[in-house]
Amino acid sequence: MPKMLTISDIQALNRSAFYRFVISESGVIIFGYEDNIMTLSNGKRQNLTSDGIEIAPHSALNNYQPVIAAGKIYYNHEIKKLTELSNYSGHFKPDSSSLVIAKIFFHHQFRELSDHIYLKPYSMKELQTIFPIKLN
């Protein structure tokens, strides 16, 4: 069965890594392990952590219910901060404006961990239609 994570679980893992997240309609941030597709000896592919824990897709993190935002967050163990926020989710396919919403939720719920978060949109072109910026 896939394992959901809390921020305490992530901190206890003592490693820098990306984690999946969703924000439920009630505002709860739910974390999960990031992809790690492994090919088994019988040729089947399975999405497991190196410890053999099944990885939940974004949709399963909130029990297949609608979400406010979804994507990936990077936890930097060296500085003990959440540092990079992406809207990449193959299931929910959130638009880039959800990044701003997600950053607000992360800052509100994990203020001491989220003061170094920068936004990394999955699609820069889409972000430019929401927040026009000029690239050199």
Asked if residues 66 and 15 have their Cβ atoms less than 8 Å apart, the reply is: no
Q: Phi, psi (5° rounding) for residue 107?
A: -65, -40
Return the SS3 of 109: helix
- What average pLDDT score do residues 56-65 get? 82
pLDDT for res 39: 57
Reported as a pLDDT band with limits 50, 70 and 90, residue 4 is: confident
Amino acid identity of 5?
L
Encoded amino acid at 108, one letter: H
